[in-house]
Structure 1
C-alpha cells in the first residue's frame, strides 16, 4: 500500500510508501488519505498523528505525480476531481482532531510541502530539503496552501519560496519558521505531547485554528470552553500532580 496507518500505542503514523516514485502523490493516494485521517480521528485511544515516509532514505514526498498530471491535463473532469481530492486532504489535515506532526527525513517538495504545512508541527532531519515548485512547472499553488505557508513564514518569505521554486535546507527552513525543530526523530516532542493533557491540546488546537481563520476575540463558545476546563478531570489531575510534585497521569 502506498499509504497506510500504523498504530504505536497512543500515536498513529500515517506512512507514505511509494519510494520508487520518491513518494509523489497520485490521485488515488489523495483520494485514499481522507479515509485514513478519519480512521485516526475515530480511534479514541489515539492522542497523536505523525505523517512520515516509510523509508528514511526516501523523500518525505516529492509532490504531485507530474507524469500523471501531464497525462490527464486535457481531461477536465479528471483535473477537477484531482483538485477536489487535494483540497479535501489539506483541509482535513489542517483541522484534524489530533495534534499532528510531519516528520521530514528527505525532500519535501510542492504538494509534499503542502502536507507538511497542514500539520501542526514540522520536525526535520538535517538532510531534509524543502521547496514549493509550481512556478517552475507553470502551475499555481492552491490558495489554501498559500495561506498555510504565509501564516507560518510571513508574506515575504512565502513569496520568495513561491516565486523562485528554490530548495532550502533544514537550517534555512528553521530560520524562517517553516519548521519547528531539526532532529533525527520526532520522539522527544511526541513524548511531550503524549504526556500533556489531551483535553488542553485539543481545545487549544481549535483556538489556534480559529485565530488563523480570522477570529481575534472571545465569543460565548470560547469563554465557555475556558471556564469549563476548571471543572474537568484533567485540571484536577494536573493541579493535584503539581502540588504532589509528581508527573500527571492524564486519561483520554
Structure 2
C-alpha cells in the first residue's frame, strides 16, 4: 500500500547556483564534489518523488532554477517569464544529466538548439516546447493554478498514480543517482579548466558591482 500523497507548499526562490561555488580558485575538489552530491541528491529525489510536484515560476528561471523546475511534474509560469540552461554563455558545459533531462522534456533536437545557444525562451515559446505547461497573467495567479493542478492529481488513488510515475521516471532517475559521483568529478574537471576559470573570472568581475552571481 502506498502512503497517501500530501499537498506540500512552500516559498522557494532560486536564481540558480552561486557562481562562487563553481569558481575553482575559490573552492576545492572536495567541496565541489560534496556540493554536487547534495544538489544532485535533492534533484533526483524531487524528480522521482511519489508526491505530485508543481513548479510555479515568477519571472526568469535560469540554469539551476530551470533544472529544479524540470524535475517537477508540472510547470506554471507568468506571461513575462523565461527559463533555460544558459551555462554555455558563461563558458561552462551543461552538466550531463541536466542535458538529458532537457532532452527528455522537449526532445533531442530542440534541446540541442537550446543548450548550444544558451537560450532563455520566453513563456509562449516555453509552452510550445513543452518546457512549461501553463501560462498565467499575474504572479498572484500562480498558486491558485498550482493548487488546481494538484487537486486534480490528488483525486487519483496512489496505487495507480505512484507506480505509473515511477515506471516513467525510474530508469533515468536511477542512472542519474548512479552517476552522481562521476558527474561531480567531471564538473570539477570542467570548472578547473583554465579557459573556464578565465571566463568565470570575467563574469564575476562584471557582477562585482553588487549583482548576485548565479548560475
TM-score by length of 1: 0.59
Moved more, 187-196 or 172-181: 187-196
Considering fraction of residues, name the structure with more strand.
1
Note closer, same or farther for the CA distance 1:114–1:101 as it changes in structure 2 (3 Å cut).
Answer: same
Matched residue, 1:125: 78
CA contact (8 A) 1:131 1:166 kept: yes
SS in 1 for 2:114: helix
Task: Give the Å deviation of 1:198.
Answer: 2.6
Task: Give the Å deviation of 1:71.
Answer: 6.9
SS in 2 for 1:191: helix
Matched residue, 1:161: 114
Instruction: Tell me whether 1:13 sits opposite 2:32 in the alignment.
Output: no
Considering fraction of residues, name the structure with more helix.
2
Note closer, same or farther for the CA distance 1:104–1:208 as it changes in structure 2 (3 Å cut).
Answer: same
CA contact (8 A) 2:15 2:61 kept: yes
Task: Give the Å deviation of 1:128.
Answer: 1.7
Task: Give the Å deviation of 1:70.
Answer: 2.6
Structure 1: runs of 5 or more not aligned: 1-8, 17-22, 24-60, 215-252
Task: Give the Å deviation of 1:210.
Answer: 4.2
Aligned residues: 163
Matched residue, 1:227: none
CA contact (8 A) 2:21 2:32 kept: no
- Taking the aligned partners of 1:122 and 1:72, their CA distance within structure 2 comes to 36
Matched residue, 1:220: none
Instruction: Tell me whether 1:197 sits opposite 2:184 in the alignment.
Output: no
Task: Give the Å deviation of 1:209.
Answer: 1.5
* Aligned-residue CA RMSD (Å): 2.3
CA contact (8 A) 1:99 1:205 kept: no
Structure 2: runs of 5 or more not aligned: 175-215
- Taking the aligned partners of 2:27 and 2:61, their CA distance within structure 1 comes to 27
